[in-house]
Amino acid sequence: MFIIIIAIYALIIFIELPTLLKENEVKKSILYLFFILIPIIIDVLLSINIQIPSPSNGIKKVVFMIIGRH
């Protein structure tokens, strides 16, 4: 499963990235790679059965700190 995930993301990158580089969009290319790297890491971790904590608890804490409720 790990190999399939990497192959699919590699295919997506090899299709999209040359278009951005041809248009001299270096900043967009770096941003694109950064944002595609996040789901790659998450998908690989999930494929090898590593539990990823939910970000909802952290988000709740931040929202409650902003609005002042507990």
- Convert the pLDDT of each residue in 17-53 to its tens digit: 888 888 888 888 889 889 999 999 998 898 889 998 8
pLDDT the model gives residue 26: 84
User: For residues 6-39, b (16+ Cβ closer than 10 Å) or e, as one string?
Assistant: eeebeeeeeeeeeebeeeeeeeebeeeeeeeeee
Neighbours of 44 (CB within 10 A): 15
Kindly report the pTM of this predicted structure.
Answer: 0.66
Give the distance, in angstroms, between the CA of residue 46 and the centroid of all CA atoms in the same chain.
13
d(CA 70, CA 54): 19
Give the per-residue pLDDT at 2: 79
pLDDT of residue 37: 92
